[in-house]
Structure 1
């Protein structure tokens, strides 16, 4: 009987330890729309656990996300809106960003080792006297109108910096998209992942509980047409 109660306690503690974790599991066309989990988003193999190693290739598309597997590719036009949705709302404070990387051939075959450019940041809003983060269950973005047509990896990341002094956590997913009706602008600046984020970045090391009045989201500047 004692062993039974110990087992229950272990299960409860394990559930508690991941209760604040989350995963971007669906991608859909349109604003504030919820898609089918893992239809257009690569399926990860670490449940809803974060990536914490800045040198890991898992920073690209999460653990298990190096290839498309059975993931479908979503057709979008340049200028279309799209929405990533989660299994539960973002729970940890920190920025959320959107990145894209043009696939050499198909999005399903891309491993994320190419060039990435950032298309949006959700950083903190300090207008109310203290930092307010966008912590929600859906994040809507727009495909830049001027980028070349073709297939892309569409990446979303949440950087959790809620625990100063501990290793920040990355919650990452990649969707697969095919862009039509694009332009001829080659986006810049571009970065490699891993490599885009440093342990010395102010946005990576920030203490959000001590004199927190400004913030720079890690990574490159946002590309706009």
Structure 2
């Protein structure tokens, strides 16, 4: 009987682990909460984050290499936008926004070109403690100076809550068409995979021991 009870308890814990997740599901203009997967490519790995730094899945998550069934959101340069999740981020770590210009349409683009970062939400240090911006929505604006065209707009949560374990990337890609843009050439740019190294201090940081400063992995943020 004890063995049966133990098996039931183990199964219950496993089920709780499977249900625990957060996914970037929607993208909308302004501060609205958009419709799930209308403009964000649907991932196929349910709650499993990407952990392989050499994987193309780092771009737009597992199942996100193409967006033929995903709409493309119309935005003007300088417009605000909001990514929303199914549940609030609960793993500590930075949130970052990236963009990559598509050669033709965003829907046909696999993200294999150059990416530039437009924003980081890193930790805030106060009184010897660090706090992270863990929410269910993240809002920012399209840079005013980037060229018009279609882009992948990528949001990334890097979970570093388990020192000594494998950091986890929770990623989502929206498809946007930017109008009224400028003529800037965003830099620096990186390729994904390739932008993140296993030796990056922000990737290997122990947030529970002598944690007083932090550098978000990836390139510097591009600004107009």
Contact conserved, 1:20 with 1:91, CA < 8 A, in 2?
no
Q: 1:18 aligns to what SS in structure 2?
A: helix
Q: How far does residue 48 in structure 1 lie from its aligned partner after superposition? A: 1.9
Aligned residue pairs total 224
Pairing 1:135-214 to 2, within 5 Å after superposition: 135-214=134-213
Q: Deviations over 1:166-217 (max 9, x none)?
A: 0000000000000000000010000000000000000000000000000000
Alpha carbons of structure 1 residues 36 and 128: separation in structure 2 relative to 1, 3 Å: farther
Matched, 1:16 2:11: no
Deviation at 1:14, TM superposition (A): 2.6
Cα distance between partner residues in 2 of 1:26 and 1:69: 16
Q: TM-score, normalised by structure 1?
A: 0.95
Whole-angstrom distance in 1 between the partners of 2:5 and 2:144: 58
**For residues 77 and 126 of structure 1, what CA distance do their matches in structure 2 show?**
35
Q: Distance in 2 between matches of 1:4 and 1:107?
A: 52
Give 1:22 deviation, angstroms: 0.7
**Do 1:22 and 1:49's aligned partners in 2 also have CA atoms closer than 8 Å?**
no
Please give the residue correspondences for 1:54-203 in structure 2 after superposition, counting only pairs within 5 Å.
54-203=53-202
CA distance in 2, matches of 1:16, 1:221: 38
Aligned equivalent of 2:27: 27
Counterparts of 1:209-224 in structure 2, within 5 Å, are 209-224=208-223
How far does residue 80 in structure 1 lie from its aligned partner after superposition?
0.4
Distance 1:214 1:5 in 2: 46
Cα pair 2:20 2:47 within 8 Å, conserved: no
Cα distance in 2 between the residues matched to 1:150 and 1:75:
10
Please state whether the residue corresponding to 1:217 is helix, strand or coil: coil
**1:5 offset after TM fit, Å?**
6.7
Q: 1:54-102, CA deviations, whole angstroms, 9 ceiling, x for partnerless residues?
A: 0000000000000003100000000000000001000100000000000
2:43 is matched with which residue? 44
* Mean Cα deviation higher: 122-131 or 187-196: 122-131
RMSD of the alignment, in Å?
1.7
* Matched residue SS, 2:155: strand
Kindly indicate whether the alpha-carbon contact (under 8 Å) linking 2:40 and 2:175 is maintained by their aligned counterparts in 1: yes
Gaps in structure 1 of 5+ consecutive residues: none
d(CA) in 2 for partners of 1:95, 1:210: 17
Cα distance, 1:49 vs. partner?
A: 1.3
1:20, distance to aligned residue in structure 2 (A)? 4.0
